[in-house]
């Protein structure tokens, strides 16, 4: 299996692309603060899932990378809250994105709790 086939990867990549598209409309003065931060954190989620999958032969690295990914996912949620509070996104769109992020968090947690399903040997 390729890391691109992982459901957590697919959903987090899709969310990062939605965030990329919506942030194109953010004000110019947010370029180096909110826009950059939310793009970085959202892109880091699938990137660290990919790293975790490639390091699955080392259980501690697998867990470490997945917890990093979960942390980036949580950070993305904070930036989405800022985007809503600043009125850069609507409440409906915020709820849609947060809902997707919560689902991604559950998928990452599933990977952490069931490492053997992803080729990790129990220590």
Please tell me the distance from the alpha carbon of residue 117 to that of residue 123, in angstroms, as a whole number.
Answer: 14
Angle at 112 between CA 109 and CA 117, to 5 degrees: 110
Domain residue spans of the chain: 3-115
Beta strands in the chain (DSSP E): none
pLDDT tens track for 101-115: 999 999 999 999 999
Please name the fold of domain 3-115.
de novo design (two linked rop proteins) (1.20.1440)
- pLDDT at site 66: 98
Whether the CB-CB separation of 10 and 4 falls below 8 Å is answered with yes
pLDDT tens track for 14-73: 999 999 999 999 999 998 899 999 999 999 999 999 999 999 999 999 999 999 999 999
Listed residue (68, 87, 82) closest to 37, CA to CA? 82
Report residue 37 as tokens: 């931060």
| Helix (H) or strand (E) segment spanning residue 42 | helix 36-54
Residue with tokens 């809503």: 84
Report residue 12 as tokens: 């987090």
């Amino acid at each position: 299996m390729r890391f691109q086939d992982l459901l957590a990867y697919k959903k987090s990549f899709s969310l990062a692309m939605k965030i990329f598209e919506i942030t194109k409309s953010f004000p110019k003065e947010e370029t180096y603060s909110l826009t950059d931060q939310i793009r970085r954190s959202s892109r880091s989620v699938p990137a660290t899932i990919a790293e975790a999958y490639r390091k699955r032969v080392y259980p501690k690295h697998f867990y470490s990378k997945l917890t990093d990914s979960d942390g980036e996912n949580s950070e993305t949620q904070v930036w989405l809250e800022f985007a809503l509070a600043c009125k850069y996104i609507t409440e409906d769109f915020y709820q849609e994105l947060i809902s997707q992020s919560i689902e991604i968090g559950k998928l990452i947690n599933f990977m952490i709790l069931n490492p053997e399903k992803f080729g990790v040997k129990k220590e």
